[in-house]
Structure formats: structure tokens, C-alpha cells
Amino acid sequence: MKSWTKNQLHRLRIAMILNSDKRNRYIVKHKIFKEVGEHFFFQPRFIPADPQLIKFHNNVVVTSNVTFVTHDIFHLGLNHLEQGEFCYQAGCIEIMDNVFIGCNSTILPNVKIGPNVVIAAGSVVTKDVPEGVVVAGVPAKVMGTFEEYVEKRRVNNRIYSVDELWEKFDQEKKQ
């Protein structure tokens, strides 16, 4: 009971830390996840129920509203079918080096995301993601390579003013 209460207090404390840098320092200091590598950025304010089932390696960026599902609780529904006793199911998630996870994505249990991967916003990752790819969709599917993505970003690697962004937007929409 003691560790469950401690876990819940950590989850509540993390949700209340508005600054993402402070939240990251708290997560690392208190060893919230099983493992966290160097250059880790975790923007979500809500920590999964079983954070010790998640490992993050080096240079991982997790953007806002990403959900890590380490378990399902459907056993609660199955147990009312009078077909025997069903147990709680849980699984681990491992995120390797150089991974970006876009906002509103969901990572399901028993998934390993390889190194050099981009997961597009809104994706649902239901199975392992191989090294060096960009995935998107529901369920997430390979859309291209990590290297193609990096090159595309390199070509358009400058900061635009607000006015320049609107001008660029208007030009692209006229075509």
C-alpha cells in the first residue's frame, strides 16, 4: 500500500508542476520511470499508472498529451461474464535513442520503439517500431525514413517571423 500511495502522490505532484523543465528534473530525481537516459524531455503533465514499466533511453522527446498504456483493466468486465476469473494484464514499453513522439500519440503495452524514430502526432503505436523510420496513423504505419525526415528539416532550417509564416502559408494555399 505504501508504494501505491507514494506513486499516486508523485503523479499528483508532477501534474501540478507547470514548467516542463522543472517537471523533467522532478521525474529524473525521483526515478519515476524504470530508466531515463540523457537529454530526456517529457512534456506531458500526467504520468502513466505504472511508470516503472517504461524505459526511456538517450535523446528522447515526448510532447504534450502523449499517453503510455502499460496495462488494460478489461478483466473487470470479463469477470462479470461468469466464465472464470480473469487477471489484470500489464506490459512494458521501451523507447530507444533519438526518438520523437508527437502530441496526442498513444503507445500501447509490450511495444519497443527502435532508435532514430519519429512518431507523428496522433499516432497509435500498437506494435514494435523498427529502427530509422517515421510512423503515423491509427494504427501507426511506416511513412518514410528517419534520414528523409532529417533532410527535409535541414532544407527548411530557419526561423520565420509571424508575418513570414502567414505569407508562406498563403502562398502554399494558393497553389
Question: Using CA atoms, how far apart are residues 72 and 69, in angstroms rounded to an integer?
Answer: 8
Q: What is the pTM of this model?
A: 0.86
What does the pLDDT read at residue 1? 40
Question: Using CA atoms, how far apart are residues 84 and 35, in angstroms rounded to an integer?
Answer: 36
C-alpha of 159 from chain center: 26
**Which of 54, 47, 41 has its CA nearest to residue 94?**
54
**Which of 17, 10, 16 has its CA nearest to residue 33?**
10
What does the pLDDT read at residue 37? 97
- Helix, strand, coil in percent for the chain, rounding step 5: 35, 25, 40
Q: Is 10 a catalytic residue?
A: no
Q: Write the single-letter amino acid at 153.
A: R
Walk along the chain (175 residues) and give the pLDDT tens digit of each residue.
457 688 888 888 888 888 888 999 999 999 999 999 999 999 998 888 889 999 999 999 999 999 999 988 888 888 888 788 888 888 999 999 999 999 999 999 999 999 999 999 999 999 999 999 999 999 999 999 999 999 988 888 888 999 999 999 999 998 7
Number of CB atoms found within 10 A of residue 128's CB: 11
Q: Please provide the size of the chain in residues.
A: 175
User: Are the C-beta atoms of residues 92 and 81 closer than 8 Å to each other?
Assistant: no
Beta bridge partners of 61: 41, 100
C-alpha of 37 from chain center: 15
What does the pLDDT read at residue 2? 53
What does the pLDDT read at residue 99? 98
Question: Using CA atoms, how far apart are residues 116 and 111, in angstroms rounded to an integer?
Answer: 15
Q: Which of 10, 71, 75, 80 is catalytic?
A: 71
